[in-house]
Amino acid sequence: MQSKSRGRAAVARRAHNPKVGGSIPSLATKLRPSGPFFYCMKSGFVNIFGKPNAGKSTLLNALIGEKLAIVSPKVQTTRHRIKAFLNKPGAYQLVLSDTPGIIQPKYLLQNKMMEAVSAALEDADLAVLLVDVNDNLEELDQLFSGLKLRVPSIVVLNKIDIAANGKIKEAIAFFTGKSYCKELVKISALQQHHLLSLIDVMLKYIPEGQPFFSEEDLSDLPTRFFVSELIREKIYELFGDEIPYQTAVVVNEYAEKAQLIKIQADIIVNRESQKAIVLGDKGSMIKQLGMMARKDIEAFIGSKVFLELFIKVRPKWRDNDMHLKEYGYR
Ligand SMILES: Nc1nc2c(ncn2[C@@H]2O[C@H](COP(=O)(O)OP(=O)(O)OP(=O)(O)O)[C@@H](O)[C@H]2O)c(=O)[nH]1
Ligand SMILES: [Mg+2]
């Protein structure tokens, strides 16, 4: 993202204006310094791990107060590590990382997703092991034990707003005393319950130090990335079955014109039959997709947008290293 681009300015500005369209009613106001007496500044990395659908992206968005990571009821939505900065100037900077849900990879794209998880395991000051409280606890125990974490970790029980009867108590009893559970916090990322307590716990594990990133910014990722993700999110919303898992989105053009930003993006699919589905009858589906995506992109970058979408068929792109690199999966 160019430092002078409208996108970046918007993303940076919105850190101080959580009411801009599309933002989540947030903690941002509560996070401002409350007086002239600051402690030593803390700065560090908090990386969020868990099974697909645990609510990792929802948690990142709720903490930052902006929708930076796309969210869906379908599994395996996040494909990259997404860094976002939670700043309380003069007090702390938490560099939060959302990661793809942990799975056994079956094709090269999933290998790359799991490489993003491994990289995040290495550089955390604190690992947050996020649990959907309704999930199978034994399976989660195997997963977390298998991570062989070398950094402190806490277990965060999510979705307590929809916990089945007795499930919260059961999960607390289950995880208490586990080697990877230094502390246990229960939250609802969706309802934004107990997030300030969670931040307090996180800060205990963060060393003193100056910010790693500009406190004006929300993320180190380029605007184009967020644009492609917003388009991908609409594919998850509109299409069932395999389509979301067999598509990628690439932004080829992001040009600032006088009155608007022109964006051209390709939707990559595996087969002609998928192209026909994404296109829809007389182009009805791609039209709807474009309208939904444009609305969200405009809210995100704070500018009018002209969005042009093409569909391209690239057989077996998910197993083709060259294509994967081209589409941003390094
Ligand atoms: N009721 C409830 N739903 C939640 C909560 N947190 C997340 N969800 C929902 O759970 C679903 C999955 O959320 P995501 O944030 O996409 O989950 P994720 O862990 O990032 O998933 P992957 O990217 O696939 O690994 C979405 O439908 C969210 O709205 C919560 O606290 N309560
Ligand atoms: Mg996610």
The residue to mutate among 58, 97, 110, 133, having the most atoms of ligand 1 within 8 angstroms of its beta carbon, is: 58
Output the ligand 1 site: residues, CB below 6 A.
50, 52-58, 71-73, 75-78, 100-101, 158-159, 161-162, 188-190
Indicate which ligand has the atom closest to the C-alpha of 102.
1
SS3 content of the chain, % helix, strand, coil (to 5): 40, 20, 40
Structure tokens at 83: 């860094």
Whole-number pLDDT of residue 16? 34
Q: Ligand 1 centre and the CA of 40: distance in Å?
A: 34
pLDDT (average), residues 140-166: 96
Q: Tell me the pTM.
A: 0.90
In angstroms, rounded to a whole number, what is the distance separating the alpha carbons of residues 214 and 15?
Answer: 11
What are the residue ranges spanned by the domains of the chain? 6-204, 223-326
Residue 12 has pLDDT above 70, yes or no: no
**Nearest Cα to 227, choosing from 4, 3, 10?**
10
* Residues 276-308 pLDDT 10s: 999 999 999 999 999 999 999 999 999 999 999
What letter does residue 208 receive in the DSSP assignment?
Answer: B
The residue with greater pLDDT, 14 or 93, is 93
CA dihedral 236, 78, 197, 191 (to 10 degrees): 0
The b-or-e profile of 219-239 (16+ CB within 10 A means b, else e) is: bebbbbbbbbbbbbbbbbbbb
Q: Ligand 1 centre and the CA of 132: distance in Å?
A: 8
Indicate which ligand has the atom closest to the C-alpha of 76.
1
Whole-number pLDDT of residue 241? 86
The residue assigned the tokens 């081209």 is 326
Indicate which ligand has the atom closest to the C-alpha of 74.
1
Which CATH superfamily does the domain covering 6-204 fall into? Answer: P-loop containing nucleotide triphosphate hydrolases (3.40.50.300)
Check if the beta carbon of residue 218 is closer than 8 Å to that of residue 66.
yes
Is residue 14 very low, low, confident or very high in pLDDT (cuts 50, 70, 90)?
A: very low
Whole-number pLDDT of residue 9? 35
Check if the beta carbon of residue 32 is closer than 8 Å to that of residue 87.
no
- Region for residue 259 given its phi and psi (left: phi exceeds 0; alpha: psi -120 to 50; beta: otherwise): alpha
Q: Ligand 1 centre and the CA of 66: distance in Å?
A: 15
In angstroms, rounded to a whole number, what is the distance separating the alpha carbons of residues 224 and 244?
Answer: 19
Tell how many helices (H) and how many strands (E) occur in the chain: 11, 9
Mean pLDDT, rounded, of the chain: 90
What letter does residue 146 receive in the DSSP assignment?
Answer: H
In angstroms, rounded to a whole number, what is the distance separating the alpha carbons of residues 231 and 293?
Answer: 5
Q: Ligand 1 centre and the CA of 209: distance in Å?
A: 32
Whole-number pLDDT of residue 32? 45
pLDDT (average), residues 142-164: 96
Q: Where are the beta strands (DSSP E) in the chain?
A: 42-50, 82-88, 92-98, 126-132, 153-158, 184-186, 248-256, 261-269, 305-313
| CA angle, 7 then 11 then 16, to 5° | 145
In angstroms, rounded to a whole number, what is the distance separating the alpha carbons of residues 187 and 202?
Answer: 13
pLDDT (average), residues 15-42: 48
Q: Ligand 1 centre and the CA of 277: distance in Å?
A: 26
7: number of Cβ within 10 Å: 22
Minimum CA distance residue for ligand 1 atom 27: 73
Residue 26 has pLDDT above 50, yes or no: no
Residue 6 has pLDDT above 60, yes or no: no
Q: Ligand 2 centre and the CA of 267: distance in Å?
A: 20
- Assign domain 223-326 to its CATH architecture: 2-Layer Sandwich (3.30)
Structure tokens at 163: 């916990």
Report the nearest atom of ligand 1 relative to the CA of 100.
25
Q: Ligand 1 centre and the CA of 59: distance in Å?
A: 8
Least confident of 12-16, 195-199, 223-227, 314-318: 12-16
The residue to mutate among 168, 190, 192, 194, having the most atoms of ligand 1 within 8 angstroms of its beta carbon, is: 190
* Residues 37-50 pLDDT 10s: 445 899 999 999 99
